[in-house]
């Protein structure tokens, strides 16, 4: 029997950072109604699904990744009724909905943690008697020690901010709670979950010190990628599979190798995990080729991603740190075309379709990411990629909020030229390019091979084919001759049919 490809296998998923997408209520913070109003924009863009970052009840110590109630919408973002309306309207637009689930830690305002501080149900979190010093040398991902003291002097673990205490996954109650939370949202019609800190839930027994140099997301670590975590995802997979309609899960998994990543997507575990290797690679044909080869050798359902709400926007990364660099934008567009030509699914981050750069000059008093405060201003944090989207008009709030409201982060004046309104009618704009590229990808859907075949190409360029599609990208400094083809389907910049300019990619049709 011919099996249909499940929707997520080659989907283009658009990440909505809810606080910064669209504000309908006028309080300067994005919300669910704002998203509902912009669904036509997303369907016209041509994506298949949206991933919503956390919109649950939260004191917002980490932009909502500190959840106080996993079964309710924060009033800042709307109500459960707004959520239900969003899901049904998204589905009516042909868009699937993925929601974030945050199982590594809760908010310190969660009922369980408040009870734990009263001495009730402490075994749901990781408390330690300790002494004067923290129980071990673990450092928070957000700077500073990973341990804080509760009012009665006991230490509790938080891999992120002190307002985000880590759950104790060795307690069966934590398991049943999250199975129930999954069902709560599945019953409301969500199509999938993005699992926050998916490789962090279990900590090594005895909480041993990490070697000093090993604070990163590493496989051989007492913190990350413990083998027990896979049992959790096997159980979650059973729940997802028990619902109709191809429900799925994608893990936020940072690893050093594609082999480690592959452990999370074994057939009875998660459907996908983020493949951050491309995002971490420099602008280099050799580096890109290695990422593609390593990924395809290890993983059968690959994913690709260039940007998200935690990293410097790729236009700025590729522009060697300069925010408004022509080179960065050209490379960003080229990388998108290469990514969309690869087998698997692609995750886009809101605003990349406008070519938005990182905002590098936010005033210190505007910055809200706990990384900035916890590092005492040494690290800029992630606010620069979270600035609210510019939709229309010539001044802040650029249609993000109703006129008169101030967005929660200031928007740069240069964004007047980058609004959706300005770009929508301009065939040369980045928005028009994204729409065209997504249309071209849809037109090819189902007709391409699962693997890629490399063709010989000049140094610092890559040529690969998937059936009738040849994708070419030039990461070098000189133009390179195009391989044989019938016609150019799309270019990240104008391509004349003979030479591929530097910092450019194109799709060619061959018969
Ligand atoms: C990863 C999320 O993407 C990030 O924004 C958050 O700060 C951490 N996990 C902690 O939840």
Domain count, the chain: 3
Could you identify the atom of ligand 1 that is nearest to the CA of residue 105? 11
**Integer angstrom CA distances of residue 449 from 86, 266, 377, 464, 469:** 35, 22, 48, 12, 9
In percent, the amount of the chain with pLDDT more than 70 equals 98
CATH number, domain containing residue 466: 2.60.40.1180
Q: Within a 10 A sphere around the Cβ of 396, how many other Cβ atoms?
A: 20
Over residues 338-370, the pLDDT tens digits come to: 999 999 999 999 999 999 999 999 999 999 999
Summarize the confidence of residues 62-83 as an average pLDDT.
98
What values do phi and psi take at 192, rounded to 5? 180, 175
Judge if 278 and 345 occupy the same domain. Answer: yes
pLDDT at 340: 98
pLDDT tier for residue 4 given thresholds of 50, 70 and 90: confident
Q: Which of 10, 82, 252, 369 is catalytic?
A: 252
In a domain, 164, yes or no: no
Compute, in angstroms, the gap from residue 412 CA to the centroid of ligand 1.
25
Compute, in angstroms, the gap from residue 197 CA to the centroid of ligand 1.
7
pLDDT at 3: 58
Summarize the confidence of residues 78-106 as an average pLDDT.
98
Compute, in angstroms, the gap from residue 426 CA to the centroid of ligand 1.
35
Q: Probe ligand 1: pick from 65, 350, 370, max atoms within 8 Å of CB?
A: 65
Judge if 352 and 456 occupy the same domain. Answer: no
CATH number, domain containing residue 289: 3.20.20.80
In a domain, 163, yes or no: no
Judge if 364 and 465 occupy the same domain. Answer: no
Our answer to whether residue 196 is catalytic in this structure is yes
Output the residue whose Cα is nearest ligand 1's atom 5: 310
pLDDT at 83: 99
pLDDT tier for residue 325 given thresholds of 50, 70 and 90: confident
**Integer angstrom CA distances of residue 237 from 176, 234, 298:** 14, 5, 20
For residue 249, is pLDDT > 70?
yes
Among 437, 465, 492, where does a domain finish? 437
Over residues 42-54, the pLDDT tens digits come to: 999 999 999 999 9
pLDDT at 439: 98
Judge if 373 and 412 occupy the same domain. Answer: yes
Judge if 153 and 290 occupy the same domain. Answer: no
Q: Indicate the average pLDDT of the chain.
A: 96
Which three-class secondary structure state does DSSP give residue 310? coil
Q: What residues are paired with 15 via a beta bridge?
A: 51, 349
pLDDT tier for residue 377 given thresholds of 50, 70 and 90: very high
Output the residue whose Cα is nearest ligand 1's atom 3: 310
Structural domain boundaries enclosing 454: 449-509
Over residues 172-215, the pLDDT tens digits come to: 999 999 999 999 999 999 999 999 999 999 999 999 998 866 55
Judge if 184 and 217 occupy the same domain. Answer: yes
Judge if 93 and 116 occupy the same domain. Answer: no
Q: Within a 10 A sphere around the Cβ of 400, how many other Cβ atoms?
A: 27
In percent, the amount of the chain with pLDDT more than 90 equals 93
Q: Which residues line ligand 1 (CB under 6 A)?
A: 62, 65, 102, 160, 196-197, 252, 309-310
Among 388, 411, 437, where does a domain finish? 437
pLDDT tier for residue 497 given thresholds of 50, 70 and 90: confident
Could you identify the atom of ligand 1 that is nearest to the CA of residue 104? 11
pLDDT at 1: 37
Output the residue whose Cα is nearest ligand 1's atom 11: 65
Q: Which of 31, 62, 166, 196 is catalytic?
A: 196
pLDDT at 395: 97
Compute, in angstroms, the gap from residue 458 CA to the centroid of ligand 1.
40
Q: Probe ligand 1: pick from 197, 252, 254, 311, max atoms within 8 Å of CB?
A: 197
CB contact set of 334 (below 8 Å; sequence gap of 6+):
473, 474, 492, 493, 503, 504, 505
pLDDT at 322: 75
Could you identify the atom of ligand 1 that is nearest to the CA of residue 53? 3
pLDDT tier for residue 103 given thresholds of 50, 70 and 90: very high
In a domain, 467, yes or no: yes
In a domain, 66, yes or no: yes
Our answer to whether residue 10 is catalytic in this structure is no
């Amino acid at each position: 029997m011919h099996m249909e490809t499940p929707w997520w296998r080659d989907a283009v998923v658009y990440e909505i950072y809810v606080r910064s997408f669209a504000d309908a209520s006028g309080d300067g913070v994005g919300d669910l109604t704002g998203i509902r109003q912009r669904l036509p924009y997303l369907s016209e863009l041509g994506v298949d699904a949206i991933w919503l970052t956390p919109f649950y009840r939260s004191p917002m110590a980490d932009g909502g990744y500190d959840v106080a109630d996993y079964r309710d919408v924060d009033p800042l973002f709307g109500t459960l009724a707004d959520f239900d309306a969003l899901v049904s309207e998204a589905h009516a637009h042909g868009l699937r909905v993925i929601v974030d689930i945050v199982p590594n830690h809760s908010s310190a305002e969660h009922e369980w943690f408040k009870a734990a501080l009263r001495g009730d149900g402490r075994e749901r979190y990781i408390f330690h008697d300790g002494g004067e010093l923290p129980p071990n040398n673990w450092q928070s991902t957000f700077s500073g020690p990973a341990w804080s003291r509760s009012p009665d002097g006991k230490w509790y673990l938080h891999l992120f901010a002190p307002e985000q205490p880590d759950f104790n996954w060795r307690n069966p109650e934590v398991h049943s709670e999250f199975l129930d939370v999954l069902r709560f949202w599945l019953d409301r019609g969500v199509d999938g979950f993005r699992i926050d800190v998916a490789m962090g839930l279990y900590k090594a027994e005895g909480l041993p010190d990490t070697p000093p140099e090993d604070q990163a997301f590493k496989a051989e670590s007492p913190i990350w990628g413990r083998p027990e975590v896979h049992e959790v995802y096997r159980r979650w997979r059973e729940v997802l599979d028990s619902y109709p309609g191809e429900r799925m899960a994608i893990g936020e998994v940072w690893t050093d190798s594609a082999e480690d990543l592959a452990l999370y997507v074994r057939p009875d575990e998660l459907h996908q995990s983020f493949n951050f290797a491309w995002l971490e690679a420099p602008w280099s044909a050799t580096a890109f080729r290695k990422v593609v080869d390593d990924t395809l050798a290890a993983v059968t359902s690959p994913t690709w991603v260039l940007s998200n709400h935690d990293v410097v926007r790729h236009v700025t990364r590729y522009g060697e740190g300069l925010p408004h660099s022509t080179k960065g934008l050209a490379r960003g567009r080229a990388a998108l075309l290469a990514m969309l030509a690869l087998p698997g699914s692609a995750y886009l981050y809101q605003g990349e379709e406008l070519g938005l750069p990182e905002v590098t000059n936010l005033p210190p008093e505007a910055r809200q990411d706990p990384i900035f405060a916890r590092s005492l201003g040494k690290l800029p944090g992630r606010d620069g990629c979270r600035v609210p989207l510019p939709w229309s008009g010539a001044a802040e709030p650029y249609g993000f909020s109703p006129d008169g409201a101030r967005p929660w982060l200031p928007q740069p004046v240069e964004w007047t030229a980058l609004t959706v309104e300005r770009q929508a009618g301009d065939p040369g704009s980045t928005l028009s390019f994204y729409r065209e590229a997504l249309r071209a990808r849809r037109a090819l859907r189902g007709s391409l091979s699962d693997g890629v075949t490399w063709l010989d190409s000049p140094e610092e360029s890559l040529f690969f084919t998937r059936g009738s599609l040849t994708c070419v990208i030039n990461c070098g400094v000189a133009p390179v001759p195009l391989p044989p083809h019938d016609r150019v389907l799309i270019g990240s910049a104008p391509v004349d049919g003979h030479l591929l300019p530097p910092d450019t990619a194109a799709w060619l049709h061959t018969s």
